[in-house]
Amino acid sequence: MEKLNFHTDPSRKIQNALLFQALKASKDLMGETGFKAVINRADTLSPGMRIYLDEGRWPPQDTEQGPPQPDITQHYLRQ
């Protein structure tokens, strides 16, 4: 049986509620300015992240599967 790599498997998705909580906690800890700086930097590494600057575009707090996990974490693999 082949081991699943959770960092690069394109079919792996993040649960909406987990991404919502990560965004909310990040914004609460860093404040508005810090959050914008981090999201803008993340967007240069993983285009499309700027949509999360608008809280209205954050995923709902449900258990449905949301965005593909590699879209969120691929910038960690480049370091």
pLDDT tens for the chain, residues 1 to 79: 555 555 556 666 778 888 899 999 999 999 999 999 999 998 887 788 898 999 998 888 888 877 765 555 554 444 4
pLDDT at position 12 is 67
pLDDT at position 71 is 55
Burial class (CB within 10 angstroms; exposed 0-12, middle 13-18, buried 19+) of 67:
middle
pLDDT at position 79 is 40
pLDDT at position 46 is 77
Kindly provide the b/e burial profile for residues 44-60, where b requires at least 16 CB atoms within 10 angstroms of the residue's own CB.
eebeebeebbeeeebbe
